[in-house]
Structure 1
Amino acid sequence: MMLQKRFDQVFEIMKQSFPEAEYREYSEQKKLMSSSRYLLLTEENEQNEVIGFLAGWELESFRYVEHLAVSPNIRGGGIGKRLMDRFMKQSAKPVILEVELPEDEMKRRRIGFYERLGFCLGDHSYIQPPLRAVRQQTLSLQIMSYPAKLTTTEFEMVRKLLYKEVYGAPSVYAHTYNS
């Protein structure tokens, strides 16, 4: 499938699946496609249309899942689990992801999905830096890790690397959000 069409389909699912604050603007998201560390796994239907995707990062000491989403009308059919399994089996490195705080049923179900895959919910407070220049507010999230829960030292290393590599946040910025 043409890369442009595939990217557009991924971006459309992203827009349907996440609040605007949780993904980059189109041009910024598309720029990531040229990074060797940015990974995009997709699942297509018989018509070669993207119906699910996992966007992640290959970092020095771990892999990071930035987005996992399935077309809203076909969720619950195992596509997300298949994408996560593929991503987790591609490397022996630990896998890290961010989840929203378990404040409602949907967010608790999402955490449960990852726990069933072997992820551990961390207890360190974590702030996601803004992904959009126009959005100045930050987002309180929690880190989940596989195959084991992060120690405080590991968590600090993960946070520092995510802030630098994924969010492009200067080190001064990282200190602003220390818990």
Structure 2
Amino acid sequence: MNVFERVYEIMSASFPEIEYRTQFGQKELLRHPEYRLITESDEKGQIIAFLAVWEFPIFRFIEHFAVDASMRGGGIGNRLMSHYLGESDQLTVLEVELPEELISCRRIRFYERLGFHLNEYPYVQPPLRVGGQDLPLKIMSYPKPLTEQEFLACKSLLYDKVYRIPNI
């Protein structure tokens, strides 16, 4: 199994279908110079965690982050994310589900322990699949909260480059 296939396997097991693209759509992202996959492997060389990131001149966007279900709770995600954040002092953002369910509140607390800040500005992830629904989310930012101007600039770039929706 190649790197992309293993990452997609973990991704599809970790996220609801509304939160990731089809396999073809996800693989197409690898053609974009701003997009890259960062993986963590176990001692046997098996990929056990990944970050899927977009790196733009003004900020970095972590689109997906997951650890294989059988490996969760051992600090792998914390190490991978801490290492990535330590690579640069550049603004980094990610999307999280609304803090309405216990699991989403736990995720938010995990990111807050890493130094992320939950921004209260309204945000919607456009559909990632044909016929999909908009998904209300929140943006978290590292190492500081976003001003409204920064949030709007991030949202505009995400909609244009990541979601391919111009001029929003």
**TM-score band, normalised by shorter chain:** over 0.9
Partner of 2:162: 166
The aligned amino acid for 1:152 is E
2:121 is paired with a residue of what secondary structure? coil
Output the CA distance in 1 between the equivalents of 2:73 and 2:65. Answer: 13
Structure-to-structure mapping, 1:1-179, within 5 angstroms: 5-135=2-132, 137-171=133-167, 174=168
Q: Secondary structure at the match of 1:80?
A: helix
Q: CA RMSD in A?
A: 1.0
- After superposition, the C-alpha distances for 1:69-114 in whole angstroms (9 at most, x for unaligned) are 0011111111111111122122221100000001111110000000
Structure 2 unmatched runs, 5+? none
Per-residue CA deviation, residues 24-53 of structure 1 (Å, 9 max, x unaligned), is 110111111122110211011122111100
Percentage identity across aligned positions? 50
Q: Distance in 2 between matches of 1:141 and 1:168?
A: 18
Tell me the TM-score normalised to structure 2 length.
0.96
User: Could you list the per-position Cα deviations for residues 132-158 of structure 1 after superposition, in whole angstroms to 9, with x for gaps in the alignment?
Assistant: 1131x1000000001110111111101
With the length of structure 1 as denominator, give the TM-score of the two structures: 0.91
Matched residues in 1 for 2:94 and 2:52: separation?
A: 11
1:9 deviates by: 0.6
Moved more, 142-151 or 32-41: 32-41
Q: Following TM superposition, where does structure 1 have runs of at least 4 consecutive aligned residues deviating by more than 3 angstroms?
A: none
Classify the secondary structure of the residue corresponding to 1:123.
Answer: strand
Equivalent pairs, count? 168
